[in-house]
A and B are shown apart, each in its own frame.
Chain A
Amino acid sequence: MMQPILSARGLVHNFGEGPSAVQVLKNIDIDILPGEVLLLVGPSGSGKTTLVHILGHLLRPTAGKITICGKSTETLDEDRLAELRLQHFGFIFQAHNLFPMLTATENVMVALDLMGVEKDVARVRAHELLGSVGLGHRIDAFPSELSIGQKQRVAIARALAADPEILIADEPTAALDSENGLKAMELLQALARNSRRAVVIVTHDFRIFQFANRVLHLEDGRIVDKPPESSHSFGAGSAS
């Protein structure tokens, strides 16, 4: 069996403390494998966002542990966790959150700068990354000059800048129309397939299930085997 990049066991997360605490995640086990596109679906409030925040080490679980490439991340302090995110994760959020006063190239260069990449090298690399998401012709555009779909692609290029092993996207297509949403998904899928990178996507969009290797259903903080009220069939396991 393939060695997982990330392995989580017994994840529990509570919001609040004491009697008013709400358990949002209840004993979740997940393995993320290299090269896979993993979809996380489930009703609103089922804990999807909370789960990917924990998987991406933006949030500490109340209980449970995560290992990355076999190493536990439990005891790492804030600064070490930041380094860990820098080395292993890329994030794409629903809001693209690009710096409005930086060009597409410069926005991507920020991520490379965090990695310590030298400026001239970073510029060339940023151009390549923008080219790879189909924005080679808009490298000097400011976010205000780009469409929402193009902005999201800049954000994808930025998330890829550090060449992360795990790309986490929380409803990346929510702000996009269906055509742009599909394009973005195709792009993410290609990115997974052409490398050993794993892509974890939280989505409500049933039309993108065809791109997934695996679909996990989250229901009230638990991973359930089948979607209770869904007649769809999914393309789980149908990838490369």
Chain B
Amino acid sequence: MTLLIAWRNLVHDRIRFAITLTGIAFSTILMGIQLGMLLNFVHTISTVVDHAGADLWITAEGVPSVDLATPLQERRRFQAMSVEGVAAAEPYMLHFGFLKRPDGVRQIVIVIGIDPDATMGLPFAMVEGPSAKEALAEPDGAVIDRLYADKLGIRTLGETVEINSHRIRVVGFTDGIRTFTQAPYVFMSLAKARSFFYAPDNDIAYVLVRVAEGHKPEAVAEALAARMSEVEVLTAGQLAWRSQYYWLVTTGAGITLVSSTLLALLVGVVIVAQTLYASTMDRLPEYAVIRAMGGPRSYLYRIIVQQAVLGGVFGAAIGLAVIAVVVVFTRHLSSAPEVPLWLAFGIVVATMLMCVAASIGSIGKVMTVDPVKVFR
């Protein structure tokens, strides 16, 4: 019966109902998009680390993010290979470069150079062209992501562009390797990449290490660090986190997203609290009758909380539907919110908590409802 009363209360005033739903949906959508973007940023920032297949990354000291590499001498690789527990150690080049499109427009890119024979760090998620290995082995061969083909002036495979005045030919497309820095990744062979940047022959950016079976990455990292000075040895997870922390916390980008999510929650609470309170005030004489008849206060609380939660259910449903549409339509854009099921579930829970929080004021009101005052 309380649920029926709650439902009829909710829909009784159409305009108020619409405001309530709009408020809740708005706040759900904002939460979903903001947190979805945040999740996308988290994944995007560390995508090349997450998919490289390396257990450990040897970096120059103080590298703040995987995209902001500083030179590392290649001899580190040979030092690493002699350390117990290292199964493989491969060079990884990473450098910002300028790409000149066929129409002359320049775009900043991140060039990643790896040996075609490498077992780690190759372009993943290849969808067009030969295998990654073959693509990098081709003369002038490079691989970019399909998401950025337009941006880089590439219409089909086989077209050529220039990077730092060197010709490259795009021979393969990946799908879904996004960049956080706005500079798309261009994969090519290590030798070619080195030749682009006047880098000393023996300079690379990272050494990727695969740990032999039966060895703990953390233990091998310690052994490597003990062997070498002026480098850091990070697990893939550590480098990913360091990169995420740099872009999202140090630059404030993530904090903005999180605080606007909280703001969305707050706006939702205020709107729901307002409409619920107004509806509760309207029903006060009836609630007083219930108290007079001997109904417990909890009966009235139940009505109010159920009313709030019902609003939450429908508002969140609308919000999730909109989020789903946004996710589907932005899927092929260079930045798109990611809303996996667990996040959608979390948003619904947050919305429900928001609605319950919003009912506190109304509960306070009915707590003091006194039939004697209403019926004098």
List residues of chain A with CB under 8 Å of any chain B CB: 49, 53, 56, 58-59, 79, 82-87, 89-91, 93-95, 97-102, 106, 109-111, 113-114, 119, 122, 158-159, 162, 170
Contacts and interface: CB of A to CB of B under 8 A. Distances in A.
A82 B296 CA distance: 7
A110 B8 contact: no
B299 A114 contact: yes
A102 B293 contact: no
Given A97-B286, A98-B286, A85 B292 contact: yes
A85 B291 CA distance: 9
Interface of B: 1-2, 4-5, 8-9, 11-12, 283, 285-286, 288-296, 299, 371-372, 374-376
A211 B9 CA distance: 39
Contacts of B289: 91, 93, 97
Contacts of B12: 100-101
B292 A101 contact: no
B294 A85 contact: yes
Contact of A53 (B9, B291, B372): B372
Contact of B292 (A58, A79, A122): A58
Nearest to A95: B285
Given A58-B371, A95-B285, A101 B290 contact: no
A91 B8 contact: no
Give the most central of B1, B4, B12, B285: most A CB within 10 Å. B1
A86 B1 contact: no
Contacts, number: 74
A114 B295 contact: yes
Contacts of A106: 1, 4
A97 B295 contact: no
B280 to A, nearest CB: 13
Given A93-B375, A106-B4, A99 B296 contact: no
B1 A113 contact: yes
A64 to B, nearest CB: 17
A102 B8 contact: yes
Contacts of A101: 8-9, 11-12
B293 A162 contact: yes
Contacts of B294: 82-87, 89, 114, 162
A204 to B, nearest CB: 16
Contact of B4 (A53, A82, A102): A102
Contact of A97 (B8, B11, B288, B296): B288
Looking at chain B's contact residues, is the secondary structure mostly helix, strand, loop, or mixed?
A: helix
B7 to A, nearest CB: 9
Contact of B295 (A86, A122, A159): A86
A25 B294 CA distance: 24
B26 to A, nearest CB: 26
A49 B292 CA distance: 14
A91 B286 contact: no
B367 to A, nearest CB: 11
Contacts of A110: 1, 5, 290
A99 B371 CA distance: 15
A93 to B, nearest CB: 5
A91 B292 contact: yes
A106 B2 CA distance: 11
Nearest to B291: A82
Given A59-B372, A106-B4, A97 B293 contact: no
B9 to A, nearest CB: 7
Given A82-B291, A91-B289, A119-B1, 19 more contacts: A56-B292, A58-B372, A59-B372, A79-B296, A82-B296, A86-B294, A86-B295, A89-B294, A97-B285, A98-B286, A99-B5, A99-B8, A101-B8, A101-B12, A110-B1, A110-B5, A114-B290, A158-B293, A159-B293
A106 B4 CA distance: 9
Contacts of A119: 1
Contacts of B285: 95, 97
A97 B289 CA distance: 7
A102 B375 CA distance: 21
Give the most central of B285, B375, B376: most A CB within 10 Å. B375
A125 to B, nearest CB: 13
Contacts of B290: 110, 114
Contacts of A159: 293
B300 to A, nearest CB: 11
A14 to B, nearest CB: 14
A111 B283 contact: no
A79 B288 CA distance: 15
A102 B289 CA distance: 14
A119 B11 CA distance: 22
Contacts of A111: 293
A86 B294 CA distance: 4
Contacts of B11: 101
Nearest to B284: A97
Contacts of A113: 1-2
Contacts of B371: 58
A122 B11 CA distance: 24
A58 B299 CA distance: 17
